[in-house]
A = this chain, B = another copy of it.
């Protein structure tokens, strides 16, 4: 498959570079080629719980060379987004280390008083009190932002609640629709392009999940590549209206 010369590559992680604890060799090789040719790339993940340093460590374990600057999580994109709206904001967050770290690095005050933004990321130490404070702040006028709308997270035990499910407590209780930042929303893609310094016409979004990765690219006006190494099957792809720009079984077919 010979394709257009892209100047920027946005690449999903789980299902694209690795599957759980198993690396996908063709994808790792593909990233090596990008690095050799000096083509800019950024890993784009909806995971809000990890810091970019932690994600870079995971990638290193799979033999993928990536600095923390080459990773954008939904937490980083959320912090960037709020910073563009209001640089000195009081934020009340529900979330784990990755979100806390991203918000603190932008200098936001974490508080449950005079809250400008309620931010929700996956929090496996969720409590009723945290959810109550989020609802009270939203009812007092705080804007409701959620790192991502993923409904479920795959684990060895099966599918457990994702951040979209946690967020639904606050949206259901208050009747307020959240702003979602992560894929398939265009916000995280916009932040990623800014970091890469590449226009949407010169970039491509690569991933295994049509509903998040590919729709994020389509919603942002990017070319897209669906690779069948993860979630979306060929059968599922038959029935979607807006097809990806390219489809392949493995990234070794994708000549750059």
Contacts and interface: CB of A to CB of B under 8 A. Distances in A.
A151 B173 contact: yes
B172 A159 contact: no
Given A124-B128, A128-B124, A128-B125, A151 B172 contact: yes
- Interface size class for chain A? 20 to 34
Interface of A: 123-129, 131-132, 135-136, 139-140, 151-152, 157-162, 164-166, 168-170, 172-175
A173 B135 CA distance: 20
Contact of A160 (B124, B132, B168): B132
A60 B129 CA distance: 30
Contact of A135 (B126, B132, B160): B160
Contact of A170 (B128, B161, B170): B161
A160 to B, nearest CB: 4
27 contacts: A124-B129, A125-B128, A126-B127, A127-B127, A128-B161, A131-B160, A131-B161, A132-B161, A135-B158, A135-B159, A135-B161, A135-B165, A136-B158, A139-B159, A140-B158, A151-B172, A152-B173, A160-B173, A161-B169, A161-B172, A161-B173, A164-B172, A165-B168, A166-B169, A168-B169, A168-B172, A169-B169
